[in-house]
Structure 1
Amino acid sequence: MNRRNTWFRVVCLTGVALTAFALGGFANQKGQRDSNFASQTIDLGMVVSDLDKSLKFYKDVLGFTEVPGFKVPGAFGLDTGLSNNIDLDVHVLVLGEGETATKLKLMQFKSTPGARVDNTFIHSSYGFRYLTIPVKNLNLAVENAAKGGGKPIAKCPVPLPQGFPAGLALANYRDPDGNLVELVGPWSKK
């Protein structure tokens, strides 16, 4: 397996874990005291095709805040299997404040662009398929997204189906690379 595929799989698995955590935010978390995890949140690294467009989407449409990023030397990337000796310039976006804030780490590789995957539907490709972002007020989140130029896809917002908590709905968006981002929270149909 080449390093690009390995990196992609790491990003995909991280996305799956982030989604599981986000959905778990609505449920009671048991056994945290016995866990070896240092944090209840995880960071997600995402390679993007156009850093400026992606930063604008995640900040202006979804409401992330950019905090100081960091650089990773190419040799370290090679030694850890993250890259094939390419320096990383990582832009960090957060939801919330403090050490437990979810972090989305964006990076672009202009000299070695990655391959696109089929993002038509979540079942179109294996791996990381979407981000779930729980919100306190979906109506407000959709309004704020529209102010930033975001448009929900399909018929969104859509109430969650029977069996999920009543009063919650989901609004899906696509980032500049076609990745699905879902906002989930309390919603009232206007």
Structure 2
Amino acid sequence: MKTVSLFILALLLCHLAVAQSNFTSKVIGIGVVVADLDKSLDFYVNGIGMVKTGSFTINDEFSKRSGLANGASTQVTILKLENSPDATDWKLMSFGKKAGHPKPKFIQDDTGMQYITINVKALKPIVDRLTKMNVPFRGSTPTPLNDKAHFVLVQDPDGTFIELIGPLN
């Protein structure tokens, strides 16, 4: 009986290993359409502290053929928390128009991706930069989570909530 249980466990583990091997990267690239690319780049680079790591163009032909934007072309700017192949791609693009829905006040106000979480080494430098940029802080933040970490909530220019978690200093 013990041998059968170990065999079943081994089969399950092999299945999990195979399921995880379907991907060529462990990083998910996230595309974010923004109303004003310059304003969003300022927020993410100068406020949050992300770095530009590249850019590319989606031309009108590829836009239509791929089904992405029905022929509308755009420039995509790639940001990361650090310039590393293991860092998530935060890809900003704009089609020069405002959102077709109101800016959410809380995460339950809309569907789809509403927030991202960024774990930081120190909150104070980011809070200082965002304060100088007049970015409003949501709720009573920084809010203590435990003895070592605090939680800060802000929104980017288009309303995406950004959770910043880490020690104050």
Aligned mates of 1:62, 1:138 — CA distance in 2: 10
**Shift in Å, 1:44:** 1.1
Identify which of 147, 158, 163 aligns with 1:177. Answer: 158
Question: Partner letter of residue 152 of structure 2?
Answer: A
Bigger mean CA offset, 95-104 vs 147-156: 147-156
**Shift in Å, 1:33:** 9.7
2:104 — aligned with what?
119
**Shift in Å, 1:55:** 0.8
Contact persistence 2:31–2:90 (CA under 8 A): yes
Q: Which has the higher contact order (CA 8 A, sep 6+)?
A: 1
- Tell me the TM-score normalized by structure 1: 0.71
Q: Secondary structure at 2:26's aligned position in 1?
A: coil
Matches within 5 A, 1:25-174: 34-110=20-96, 113-160=98-145, 166-174=147-155
Q: Secondary structure at 1:102's aligned position in 2?
A: coil
Which entry has the higher C-alpha Rg, 1 or 2? 2
**Shift in Å, 1:151:** 3.8
Aligned mates of 1:181, 1:172 — CA distance in 2: 6
Contact persistence 2:51–2:83 (CA under 8 A): no
Aligned mates of 1:93, 1:148 — CA distance in 2: 19
Aligned mates of 2:99, 2:138 — CA distance in 1: 25
Bigger mean CA offset, 142-151 vs 166-175: 142-151
- Ranges of 4+ aligned residues in structure 1 off by more than 3 Å: 30-35, 147-151
Q: Secondary structure at 1:176's aligned position in 2?
A: coil
CA deviation digits over 1:47-104, x for unaligned, max 9? 1111111111111110011233000122222222211111121111111122112221
Give structure 2 stretches of 5+ with no counterpart. 1-15
Aligned mates of 2:124, 2:26 — CA distance in 1: 27
Q: Secondary structure at 2:135's aligned position in 1?
A: coil
Q: CA RMSD in A?
A: 2.5
Give structure 1 stretches of 5+ with no counterpart. 1-29
Aligned mates of 2:128, 2:119 — CA distance in 1: 15
Bigger mean CA offset, 34-43 vs 140-149: 140-149
Bigger mean CA offset, 135-144 vs 32-41: 32-41
Q: What is the aligned length? A: 154
- Tell me the TM-score normalized by structure 2: 0.79
**Shift in Å, 1:113:** 4.8
